[in-house]
Chain A
Amino acid sequence: MMEFLASVFGSSNYWFIVVRSTAPILLVTLGAVITEQAGIKNMALEGSMLWAALTGVLASAWTGSPWIGLAAGVAAGVAIALVLGLFALKLDANAVLVGIALNLLSTGGTVFVLFSITGDKGISSSLPSKVLPMVSVPLLRDIPWLGKVLSGQNLIVYLAAAAVVVIHVILNKLTIGRRIRATGENVEAARAAGIDPDRIKFFTLIVSGVLAGLAGCFLSMGYTSNFTSGISAGRGYVANAAQVVAGGTAVGSIFAALIFGVTDALATFLQSRGLPPELIQALPYAVTILGFVVVTLVRDRREAARKLRLFAGRDDR
Chain B
Amino acid sequence: MSDGTRTKTLPGKVGLFFTNRDALEPALVTLFAAVFSLLAGVGLIFLVSKEPAQSARNFLLGPFLRTYNIYYMMIAMVPLTFTGLALCIIYQSKHMSLIVDSSFYIGAVVATAAGIHVALPAGWHPAFAMLAAGITGGFIGLLPAILKIRWRANELVSSLMLNYVFYFVGSFVILYFLRDRNQTILSSLPFRNTFLLPRLIPNTQLHAGFIVAAVFVVLVSVFLYRTKWGYEIRMIGANQKFAAYAGLSVPTVILYSHFVSGFLGGMGGAIEMAGLYKAFIWQMNPSYAWDGVIVAMLARKNPKFVPLSAFFLAYMRVGADFMSRRGDVAFEFITLLQGLIILILASDKIVNYFKARRLQRTALARTAEARAAGAPAGGAE
B349 — which chain A residues lie within 8 A by C-beta?
A: 90-93
Q: Is the interface of B mostly helix, strand, loop or mixed?
A: helix
Number of B residues with CB within 8 Å of any CB on chain A? 45
> B347 contacts which of A91, A116, A279, A281 (Cβ < 8 Å)?
A91
27 contacts between A and B (CB under 8 A): A87-B347, A91-B349, A93-B348, A96-B156, A97-B342, A100-B342, A101-B340, A101-B341, A101-B342, A107-B335, A108-B334, A108-B335, A108-B338, A111-B330, A112-B332, A112-B336, A121-B330, A234-B164, A237-B161, A241-B161, A244-B157, A278-B168, A278-B169, A282-B164, A285-B165, A292-B153, A293-B147
Residues in chain A within 8 A of chain B (CB atoms): 41, 43, 87, 90-94, 96-98, 100-102, 104-109, 111-112, 115-116, 121, 234, 237-238, 240-241, 244, 276, 278-279, 281-282, 285-286, 288-289, 292-293, 296-297, 300
A200 to B328, CA, bound (A): 43
B27 — which chain A residues lie within 8 A by C-beta?
A: none
> B339 contacts which of A109, A238, A240 (Cβ < 8 Å)?
A109
Q: Which residues 321-354 of B sit at the A interface, judged by CB distance below 8 A?
A: 328-330, 332-336, 338-343, 346-350
> A104 contacts which of B153, B169, B171, B335 (Cβ < 8 Å)?
B335
> A116 contacts which of B48, B165, B335, B339 (Cβ < 8 Å)?
B48
A41 to B48, CA, bound (A): 34
In the complex, the answer to whether B342 meets A240 with C-beta atoms within 8 Å is no
A285 — which chain B residues lie within 8 A by C-beta?
A: 161-162, 164-165, 168
Residue B127 is within 8 A (CB to CB) of chain A in the complex: no
Chain B: which residue is nearest A121 at the CB level? Answer: B330
A237 — which chain B residues lie within 8 A by C-beta?
A: 157, 160-161
B86 — which chain A residues lie within 8 A by C-beta?
A: none
Chain B: which residue is nearest A242 at the CB level? Answer: B157
In the complex, the answer to whether A279 meets B330 with C-beta atoms within 8 Å is no
Least CB distance from A286 to B in Å reads: 5
**With A105-B336, A116-B48: A296-B330 Cβ-Cβ less than 8 Å:** no
In the complex, the answer to whether A93 meets B346 with C-beta atoms within 8 Å is yes
In the complex, the answer to whether A97 meets B330 with C-beta atoms within 8 Å is no
Residue B293 is within 8 A (CB to CB) of chain A in the complex: yes
In the complex, the answer to whether A279 meets B342 with C-beta atoms within 8 Å is no
In the complex, the answer to whether B168 meets A281 with C-beta atoms within 8 Å is yes
**With A93-B347, A105-B340, A282-B164: A296-B332 Cβ-Cβ less than 8 Å:** no
Chain B: which residue is nearest A105 at the CB level? Answer: B339
> B343 contacts which of A98, A111, A112, A234 (Cβ < 8 Å)?
A98
Task: Tally the A-B contacts, defined by beta carbons under 8 Å.
Answer: 146
A41 to B156, CA, bound (A): 11
In the complex, the answer to whether B98 meets A100 with C-beta atoms within 8 Å is yes
A109 — which chain B residues lie within 8 A by C-beta?
A: 332-333, 335-336, 339
B214 — which chain A residues lie within 8 A by C-beta?
A: none
In the complex, the answer to whether B153 meets A244 with C-beta atoms within 8 Å is yes
In the complex, the answer to whether B158 meets A289 with C-beta atoms within 8 Å is yes
> B96 contacts which of A91, A93, A96 (Cβ < 8 Å)?
A96
B281 — which chain A residues lie within 8 A by C-beta?
A: none
> B165 contacts which of A107, A108, A240, A282 (Cβ < 8 Å)?
A282
Q: Which residues 279-325 of B sit at the A interface, judged by CB distance below 8 A?
A: 290, 293, 297
> B346 contacts which of A97, A111, A116, A241 (Cβ < 8 Å)?
A97
In the complex, the answer to whether B172 meets A278 with C-beta atoms within 8 Å is yes
A102 — which chain B residues lie within 8 A by C-beta?
A: 339, 343
A234 to B164, CA, bound (A): 8
B340 — which chain A residues lie within 8 A by C-beta?
A: 101, 105
A289 — which chain B residues lie within 8 A by C-beta?
A: 147, 153, 158, 161-162, 165
> A234 contacts which of B152, B161, B171, B293 (Cβ < 8 Å)?
B161
A72 to B63, CA, bound (A): 39
Residue B219 is within 8 A (CB to CB) of chain A in the complex: no
> A276 contacts which of B165, B176, B333, B346 (Cβ < 8 Å)?
B176
A43 to B293, CA, bound (A): 15
A77 to B338, CA, bound (A): 20
A112 — which chain B residues lie within 8 A by C-beta?
A: 330, 332-333, 335-336
Chain A: which residue is nearest B143 at the CB level? Answer: A289
A297 — which chain B residues lie within 8 A by C-beta?
A: 151
17 new A-B contacts at CB < 8 Å, known A87-B346, A279-B168, A282-B167: A92-B347, A92-B349, A97-B342, A100-B96, A101-B340, A108-B334, A109-B335, A109-B339, A112-B332, A234-B161, A241-B157, A244-B154, A244-B157, A288-B161, A289-B162, A292-B151, A300-B152
A296 to B339, CA, bound (A): 32
Chain B: which residue is nearest A288 at the CB level? Answer: B161
